[in-house]
Chains A and B, each alone.
Chain A
């Protein structure tokens, strides 16, 4: 009787500790996810900025003295993006660095001679840069979702439609 009383008296604090641990780890994971997501968003913003800058430069009519300014802006943003990629890597999200070097290649290769190229060639170049940037953004989100998979809430409709799709389980209407 005394042992049983002792067990019951310990069960309460044990459950409280267990509950606290669950809440603590869950809160920590949510906080880490939120921090990582903000770094991912900053990286995506940078890729978008590189895309916008490049399209503006290549599709517009680049002047002779604009190339340095353009190169400096794109490469400064690329360096910044590299720092974010390093931070993400420490948080378990390893991105393919060739995507970044691909963007830098597409955006800045022969940018010094943009003013001497014809409009069609420059438009093709702009399209290539946009595609590289979109590929990079998709890759960043995919890698993020590998580490923090999105939570999809199951709605009652989905649950019952799944139930109806499995004829081996006797449905309520067959009774």
Chain B
């Protein structure tokens, strides 16, 4: 199983949706941590939220996890099957699940 400990591998203060919002944005997290872990994954990937100093906003979660479906073209069912969310706050898991459900792949014109 692949593990991503956000506080260690990314930042203790993740904030913002796009790279223009700050250095620890969801866009950077998705590209640097989530995409390499999920792109050709066959085993479960655990994303661990422990040790984060700043609570994570909905925009960050939407862009990071919803963005995997919208922008990176990762299959929704595969993502839901492989993703394990570890957090003291169970509502992160609920939010992430909802954002993945709502996300639709962006159409390339």
Contact = CB atoms under 8 A, between A and B. Distances in A.
Interface of A: 68, 71-72, 75-76, 78-79, 82, 97-98, 100-101, 104-105, 107-113
A101 B89 CA distance: 10
A109 B58 contact: yes
B55 A101 contact: no
5 contacts: A75-B57, A104-B95, A105-B95, A109-B62, A112-B59
B25 to A, nearest CB: 10
Contacts of B16: 112
Given A72-B54, A112-B17, A100 B59 contact: no
B55 A75 contact: yes
B57 A97 contact: no
Q: Is the interface of A mostly helix, strand, loop or mixed?
A: helix
A79 B54 CA distance: 11
Contacts, number: 57
A50 B10 CA distance: 29
Nearest to A86: B90
7 cross-chain pairs, A with B, having the tightest CB-CB distances, nearest first? A75-B55, A101-B94, A101-B91, A109-B58, A108-B58, A108-B57, A71-B57
A109 B15 CA distance: 12
Contacts of A109: 57-59, 62
Interface residues of B, number: 19
Nearest to B92: A101
B77 interface: no
Contacts of B101: none
Contacts of A100: 91, 94
B55 A76 contact: yes
B55 A71 contact: yes
A79 B55 contact: yes
Interface in B57-92: 57-59, 62, 88-92
A106 to B, nearest CB: 8
